[in-house]
Chain A
Amino acid sequence: EVQLVESGGGLVQPGRSLRLSCAASGFTFDDYAMHWVRQAPGKGLEWVSGISWNSGSIGYADSVKGRFTISRDNAKNSLYLQMNSLRAEDTALYYCAKDSFSRLEWLFDDWGQGTLVTVSS
């Protein structure tokens, strides 16, 4: 059974940084691309960033480009999101999501439970 467990969320002041982690199990982690998708309170889904199986392809939404950095450690079956210069509009539940493919296809077939990031002074 695929398990994706996010951690690292919390309350942070505007302009500060936060690093999210996602621990994966139940599948061969380095066979698949991985993503972060977020959902602001009471709002819809927004893709944030994705990384291919070997980190050779990386993509970001325009809303986070230059501020967020995605990475993965296949030896540790882990996905990360370094979030800098946080803004109030980054407040959301951040989901770790598995792609159906090794390349970036953006088809999310498994999701974690999410970790809540709140940006507020």
Chain B
Amino acid sequence: DIQMTQSPSSLSASVGDRVTITCRASQGISNYLAWYQQKPGKVPKLLIYAASTLQSGVPSRFSGSGSGTDFTLTISSLQPEDVATYYCQKYNSAPTFGQGTRLEIK
């Protein structure tokens, strides 16, 4: 089974900071990589799919990149409403989620 490993597990940053979360697959997954945002007490929300395609309605400060085994989620200018846990997920075959990255405001 392909494992997805995110880093860091938690992150604290200031409003306006550029934030990067990484996700590594144990085997190549082409670009079948999605990112989800789960705000505290809320339902997961699809942010990005195909590694870099923004889901409709997602603010442009979010971006994704990568292919194969290494992927990143970047928030160009952190906002207070971005406090959440972020999950990467491989799809197209039996799905696996990363363990999550908890993002807080410093």
Chain A contacts to B: CB under 8 angstroms: 37, 44-47, 59, 61, 95, 100, 105-109, 111-114
In the complex, chain B residues whose CB is within 8 Å of the CB of A100: 49
Number of residue pairs across A and B with beta carbons under 8 Å? 49
Bound Cα distance from A106 to B49, whole angstroms: 11
**Any chain A CB within 8 A of the CB of B91?**
yes
Number of interface residues of B (CB under 8 A): 21
Chain B contacts to A: CB under 8 angstroms: 34, 36, 38, 43-46, 49, 55, 87, 89, 91-100
Minimum CB–CB distance for B49 against chain A, Å: 6
Given A95-B44, A105-B91, A107-B92; 19 other pairs, CB 8 A cutoff = A44-B97, A44-B98, A44-B99, A45-B44, A45-B89, A45-B100, A59-B94, A95-B43, A105-B92, A106-B89, A106-B91, A106-B92, A106-B93, A106-B95, A107-B46, A108-B46, A108-B89, A111-B44, A113-B43
